[in-house]
Structure 1
Amino acid sequence: MSTWHWAASPCDGTRLFYSDDDHGDVRSPVVLCDGIGCDGYVWRYLRRSVAPRRVLHTHYRGHGRSQPPRDLARVAITDLADDVAAVLDDARVSRAVLVGHSMGVQVSLETWHRHRDRVAGLVLVCGAPSHPLRTFRGVRTLEDLLPAIERLIVRAPRLVNGVNRALLPTKLALAIAGRVEINRALVQPDDFMPYLEGLARMDVRVFLAMLAAAGQHSSEPWLGEIDVPVLVVAGGRDGFTPPERSRQMAASIPNSSFLEVPDGSHTAPIERPLEIDRAVLDFLSGIQ
């Protein structure tokens, strides 16, 4: 049974939406942590596969059904990690397995770092532990350009939001995504369009502020301290998070497991769901 709830952020009181699929299972629940601009599209298959284990899925501040941040400066990875802990408190969950995709990898790692007693395990999918903008498509161009993009957007945010709402949830945007990143031979349009639709609804100012904050974040200094089970999943054709970054992260975490999906892109969980879901279920079988 899935129910909807709202928790309050500890840093500024922003109302945070989360869904709770509670089937009465007593094992550690799974918490799904999205990438930036996402509100759940990538978990379409995994969410069903992990049942009957309890599943919590929260929308970050400024995403989906959650409120925009009351303070636009509070969009750092540390803020998002504390928001995850607030959701655990509200749901009365003592410990959970965090499953993060893309920026959700950083959020999951930071949640472990700041709230170690609340995390029973980590599944880190298509994400980097630090400075993701420096290796976006194998170069640091996005990191260099982001300040100029922010200065441009701040002049006419309503106009940009309007253009996004008109253009992003279209077949044209889907075709461009197929050219730029996703594996169109494996992705069903109905699986990816919810991402474009959700991104179109997001305030571009929140997106860019959060992207800049994620670009400055690093978990690398303490990866070697992680003492819970960890599974790292990489897409062999991931241009947003090159697979070698995931491989290096796995090598830095003691006793972690690593899976590379050779033809998977940054959206590997909806491209190769059977392979990834099987690996996640095998991983979860060792965690009560």
Structure 2
Amino acid sequence: MSGLSWLRSAALTVGTLLLGGLSAAQAEPVSLDGTELWAMKSAEGRDYRIMISLPEGDVPYTGGYPVIYLLDGNAYFPAFHAAKRAQKRWRGVVLVAIGYPSDTPLDFARRAFDLSPPQPPERNEPAQGGQDLFLDFIEQRLMPRVNQRFKVDQDQRSLVGHSFGGMFGVYALFTRPALFQHVVAISPSLWWRDRYLLEHERAFTQQAHAGQLDLTHRSLTMWVGDREMPQEIQDMRALQRRLENLSQYGLRSDVQIEAGEDHMSIPFRVTTRVLEELLTTRRF
């Protein structure tokens, strides 16, 4: 049976659960059918735990499987893997969750570095500023390995991130728009560092108007809970309105507001809807 080899840091563990009278020391962590686990390093030697939800069925007529890259994999991989397998029509996708060799769902120190822009020295605790290094890891190391392992449709690559991960997704769209066709940013931290993304947005917009970008079939979807800070919701709506000016070049953008959800609950609430957005409602 293929399976994720003892997913020790994901949300589904039973390290402290008693099973049939077994002690916690005798119990084994849950494994997930239809998955693989890779250990990888960045060029700088940073360790990553890559969790793969394997595609099922024949290769699509496009010649390759669509791929969804998921940030904060330790926290969100089990939910996305389960939601993907629950619908037969979604099983023919490769889900690549990027996580860390940590015992917690969210490794705050590691994600603070990987997902953030540089900070002044006096504010750089924990260490931040690794966005471009992390993008290099994804583009130069992770994607080639995924391409080697699976037949991939290079026109069907998506990125999904929450909070800092959503902010990182918007940054990736603005700075490397060819890397992913679709970005889903759940509660992105657009306010971070005095809205530093505005500078990258201006450069991105200028390049689009100058005809320097191919934004055909590109999209940014932002999700937010209606119980989050009003300013955060306003920032997302404002960004979407500004990006509407780029629809003439092919970029599609929208904001979805989820009733009754807050910053920490929304990524689990919208899991199925994110997959629906990426795999069902449109052709990539």
Normalised TM-score (structure 1): 0.56
Q: State the match for 2:45 in structure 1.
A: 13
Tell me: higher relative CO, structure 1 or 2? Use CA pairs within 8 A at least 6 residues apart.
1
- CA shift, 1:121, in A, is 0.8
| Contact 1:97/1:119 (<8 A) preserved | yes
The one of 21, 46, 49 equivalent to 2:80 is 46
Instruction: Name the CA shift for 1:221/1:33 in 2 (closer, same or farther; >3 Å).
Output: farther
Q: Which residue of 2 aligns with 1:264?
A: 261
The residue number in structure 2 matching 1:59 is 99
* Residue 122 of structure 1: how far off its partner (Å): 0.9
Structure 1 pair 281–61 and aligned structure 2 pair: CA distance change class (3 A)? same
The 5-angstrom pairing of residues 1-288 of structure 1 reads: 1-10=34-43, 12-24=44-56, 26-34=64-72, 39-42=73-76, 44-50=78-84, 51-52=90-91, 53-59=93-99, 75-85=129-139, 86-92=141-147, 94=154, 96-129=157-190, 131-132=191-192, 134=194, 219-222=200-203, 224=205, 225=208, 227=215, 228-239=218-229, 242-253=232-243, 254=246, 255-270=252-267, 272-273=269-270, 277-278=272-273, 280-285=275-280, 286-288=282-284
Shift of 1:117: 2.9
Give the residue type in structure 1 aligned to 2:39.
Answer: W
Q: Which has the larger radius of gyration?
A: 2
2:233 maps to amino acid? P
Deviation at 1:91, TM superposition (A): 1.7
Answer whether contact 2:173 2:180 (CA < 8 A) is retained.
yes
Closer, same or farther: CA 76–279 of 1 in aligned 2, 3 Å: closer
- The answer to whether the Cα contact below 8 Å between 1:42 and 1:267 also exists between their aligned partners in 2 is no
User: Structure 2 CA distance, aligned partners of 1:43 and 1:118?
Assistant: 21
Deviation at 1:64, TM superposition (A): 6.2
**C-alpha displacement of 1:32:** 0.7
Contact 1:123–1:280 at 8 Å: present in 2 too?
no
Q: Secondary structure at the match of 1:117?
A: coil
Secondary structure at the aligned position of 2:183 is classed as strand
Q: Which moves more between the two structures, 60-69 or 89-98?
A: 60-69
After TM superposition, the score normalised by the length of structure 2 is: 0.57
On the 8 A contact 2:83/2:272 being kept in 1, the answer is yes
Other structure's SS at 2:234 match: helix
Amino acid at match of 1:6: A
CA gap of 1:250–1:244, structure 2 versus 1, over 3 A, is: same
Paired positions, count: 198
- Alpha-carbon deviation of 1:241? 7.3
1:82 counterpart letter in structure 2: D
* Alpha carbons 1:33, 1:107 under 8 Å: kept: no
Deviation at 1:118, TM superposition (A): 2.6
1:43–1:16: structure 2 CA closer, same or farther, 3 Å change rule? Answer: closer
Aligned-partner SS, 2:66: coil
CA shift in 2, pair 1:222/1:27, >3 Å: farther
More helix by share: 1
Contact map agreement 1:22 1:55 (CA 8 A) in 2: yes
CA contact (8 A) 1:108 1:122 kept: yes
Q: Report if the CA contact (8 A) 1:99-1:108 is conserved.
A: yes
Higher strand share: 2
Identify the range of structure 1 (74-83 vs 118-127) with the bigger mean alpha-carbon deviation.
Answer: 74-83
Residues 58 and 87 of structure 1 are in contact (CA less than 8 Å); yes or no, is this contact kept in structure 2?
no
**Retained in 1: the 8 A contact 2:161–2:168?**
yes
Conservation of the 8 A alpha-carbon contact between 1:236 and 1:265: yes
Relative to structure 1, the CA distance from residue 271 to residue 57 in structure 2 (aligned partners, 3 Å threshold; closer, same or farther) is closer
Displacement after TM superposition at 1:2 (Å): 0.9
Runs of at least 5 residues in structure 1 that lack an aligned partner in the other structure: 135-214
* CA offset digits 1:91-139 (Å, max 9, x no partner): 225462001111112222333344433312111111134x4255xxxxx
Give the partner amino acid of 1:123.
V
